Amino acid sequence: KAGVTQTPRYLIKTRGQQVTLSCSPISGHRSVSWYQQTPGQGLQFLFEYFSETQRNKGNFPGRFSGRQFSNSRSEMNVSTLELGDSALYLCASSLTGSEAFFGQGTRLTVV
């Protein structure tokens, strides 16, 4: 079966712009989580959505937001981009809330 699909794979944005990343979970999975991965901080939890509701949120500023649609697809938005937002953004889906399966990620570069 198809895995977690993230689009786009690569993005280059300018400071101050905003960006929207997309994630299609594994069919039947209702939980979608987002993570930021950087060389210095490792993998850090951003937020989790389950049945269109944000169930969990990490310690990131309000510039980072997300949503989930009725078909479980999720989007993540970052406004007023900063250089430090450059990272690999990973989406993970799960059936029950455990055993998360990750997508290939979106590599965001802010210049």
Partner 1 sequence: EDQVTQSPEALRLQEGESSSLNCSYTVSGLRGLFWYRQDPGKGPEFLFTLYSAGEEKEKERLKATLTKKESFLHITAPKPEDSATYLCAVEVSSGSRLTFGEGTQLTVNP
Are 81 and 67 within 8 A, CB to CB?
A: no
Instruction: Report the residue number, 67 or 102, with the smaller CB distance to partner 1.
Output: 102
Stretch 20-49 residues interacting with partner 1 (CB under 8 A):
31, 33, 35, 42-45, 48
Close Cβ partners of 40 (under 8 Å, ≥ 6 residues apart)? none
* 60 forms part of the interface with partner 1 (CB under 8 A): no
Query: CA 69 → CA 6, 59, 66, 72, distances in Å?
Result: 15, 23, 10, 5
* Binding residues for partner 1, total number by CB under 8 A: 27
What is the contact surface with partner 1 in residues (CB under 8 A)? 4, 6, 31, 33, 35, 42-45, 48, 50, 55-56, 58, 90, 92, 94, 97-105, 107
